[in-house]
């Protein structure tokens, strides 16, 4: 029982240290295609642990404005959709460096009148940055972005499937 208590205590300490480390960076990183290795015994435990403590982490490590993201894959392409209501397309920047696609922008507060008293303010404002790691099978020169009805659509075409199989005749 004592061993289990130490195990849990060390995981709590580790989780806090990781979260504090995340305070220093404002980037949200995610892969387009998640891959969990089933042979690793703590893979699923780690995901459960993250979900369990996400609500208890201090608000400091959560960005002021974080757009919701949907990622879809079809036979021809990947599609990333970000909900960015109230953000002009001029205020959004999309950059590709190596295999990292970074989308950043700012949702600016529209009301700067200090004489107005808010009774409830649920809208969030501020800068955001999200980074996506692209898989190897994408065509980096064929990425298109459009914005309509408060949704940013980024379509990343897949590259032609290359045959990695070669038959060698024996003589």
User: Where are the domains positioned within the chain?
Assistant: 2-110+119-158
Q: Quick one: how many helices (H) and strands (E) in the chain?
A: 2, 8
Secondary structure class of 164 (helix, strand, coil): coil
Long-range CB contacts (within 8 A, 24+) of 23-30: 23/60, 23/61, 26/63, 26/127, 26/129, 27/102, 27/129, 27/130, 27/131, 28/63, 28/66, 28/128, 28/129, 28/130, 28/131, 29/130, 29/131, 29/132, 29/133, 30/69, 30/130, 30/131, 30/132, 30/133
CA distance 63 to 127: 8
CB-CB contact of 116 with 135 (8 Å)? no
Give the distance, in angstroms, between the CA of residue 120 and the centroid of all CA atoms in the same chain: 29
pLDDT for position 76: 93
Identify the CATH number of the domain defined by range 2-110+119-158. 2.60.40.790
* Higher pLDDT among residues 80 and 35, named by residue: 80
Q: What is the pLDDT of residues 84-120, one digit of tens each?
A: 998 898 999 999 998 899 999 988 876 666 777 777 7
Lowest mean pLDDT, pick from 28-42, 115-129, 147-161: 28-42
pLDDT of 24 > 50? The answer is no
CB-CB contact of 73 with 154 (8 Å)? no
Torsion angle (degrees, nearest 10) of CA 161, 155, 100, 35: -60
> What's the whole-number mean pLDDT along residues 68-91?
92
């Amino acid at each position: 029982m004592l061993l289990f208590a130490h195990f849990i205590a060390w995981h709590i300490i580790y989780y806090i240290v990781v979260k504090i480390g995340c305070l220093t960076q404002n980037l949200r990183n995610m892969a387009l295609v998640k891959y969990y290795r089933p042979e690793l015994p703590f893979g699923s435990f780690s995901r459960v642990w993250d979900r369990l403590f996400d609500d208890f982490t201090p608000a400091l490590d959560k960005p002021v404005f974080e757009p919701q993201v949907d990622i879809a894959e079809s036979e021809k392409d990947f599609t990333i959709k970000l909900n960015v209501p109230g953000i002009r397309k001029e205020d959004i920047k999309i950059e590709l460096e190596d295999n990292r696609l970074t989308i950043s922008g700012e949702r600016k507060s529209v009301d700067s009148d200090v004489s107005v008293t808010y009774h409830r303010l649920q809208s969030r404002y501020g800068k955001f940055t999200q980074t996506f790691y692209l898989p190897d099978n994408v065509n980096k020169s064929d990425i298109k972005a459009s914005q309509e009805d408060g949704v940013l659509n980024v379509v990343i075409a897949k590259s032609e499937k290359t045959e990695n199989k070669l038959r060698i005749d024996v003589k």
